[in-house]
């Protein structure tokens, strides 16, 4: 199934709303939470795969920059790369209780490490070029941000999370049975998804229901 057909299929029943995120960080001085809250982000579980889709909000943006040097605005020093990542796609898994999102134990995602200090040069290209450059550096599963002091309990080499791009959507996914089993072990039904970039119009957080291909996919035995 193509990514376009897959995300059209799982868009049914999906919604987004403003949500506070543990990854609530400023993008050029503007909180991600205050950006577009009508984004139709998607996440689904298929046999042998978990995949999340982050739509590109401004599909007219042709040039993207990564490994960008830090810059100064209005006397304040802003960073394109917070914690040394200039791009991040993060999925917090959880449930809804009393109308509020409550994260479960695990988070997964992929980020682009800003290498300006090493390369001494910025890189320009399309979003497809950026994602292609990231494929050799998979992301990982982590404990939820509230338990960040123990985040290194799960290593990237054991549970790689991959990234791809197509149909104006950034896809973050895993086909590892062990990774999927861990991510679904606490019966998540919703996901809080954060796309962080150096561009405020392209950065957002959203809340979406997890689409399960089969009812039996909801609570595998750990």
What are the pLDDT digits (tens) for 100-151? 888 998 899 999 988 877 778 889 999 999 999 999 988 888 877 655 555 4
What's this model's pTM, rounded to 2 decimal places? 0.76
**Residue-level pLDDT at 100:** 86
C-alpha distances in Å from residue 35, one per residue of 58, 201, 203: 13, 7, 7
Q: DSSP for 68-136?
A: PPPEEETTEEE-SSBTTEEEEEEEEEEEEETTEEEEEEEEEEEEEE--HHHH-S-EEE-HHHHHHHHTT
Handedness of CA 121, 127, 128, 131 (dihedral sign): positive
pLDDT level of residue 190 (50, 70, 90 thresholds):
very high
CA distance 156 to 109: 10
Number of neighbours of residue 85 by Cβ within 10 angstroms: 17
| 111-144 as b/e: b if 16+ CB within 10 A | bbebebeeeeeebeeebeebbeebeeeebbbbbb
| 169 has pLDDT over 50 | yes
CA distance 103 to 24: 14
Query: Which residues make beta-bridge pairs with 55?
Result: 169
């Amino acid at each position: 199934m193509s990514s376009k057909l897959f995300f059209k299929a799982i868009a049914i029943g999906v919604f987004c709303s403003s949500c506070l995120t543990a990854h609530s960080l400023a993008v050029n001085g503007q909180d991600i939470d205050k950006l577009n809250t009508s984004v139709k982000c998607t996440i689904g579980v298929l046999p042998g795969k978990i995949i999340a889709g982050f739509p590109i909000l401004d599909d007219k943006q042709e040039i993207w920059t990564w490994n960008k040097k830090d810059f100064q605005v209005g006397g304040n020093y802003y960073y394109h790369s917070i914690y040394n990542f200039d791009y991040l796609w993060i999925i917090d898994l959880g449930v809804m209780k009393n109308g509020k999102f409550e994260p479960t134990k695990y988070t997964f995602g992929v980020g682009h490490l800003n290498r300006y200090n090493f390369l001494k040069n910025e890189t320009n290209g399309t979003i497809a070029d950026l994602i292609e450059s990231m494929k050799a550096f998979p992301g990982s599963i982590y404990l939820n941000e509230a338990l960040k002091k123990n985040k290194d309990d799960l290593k990237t080499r054991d549970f790689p999370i991959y990234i791809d791009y197509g149909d104006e959507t950034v896809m973050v996914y895993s086909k590892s049975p062990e990774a999927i089993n861990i991510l679904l072990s606490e019966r998540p039904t919703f996901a809080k998804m954060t796309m962080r970039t150096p561009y405020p119009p392209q950065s957002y957080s959203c809340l979406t229901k997890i689409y399960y291909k089969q009812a039996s996919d909801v609570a595998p035995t750990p």
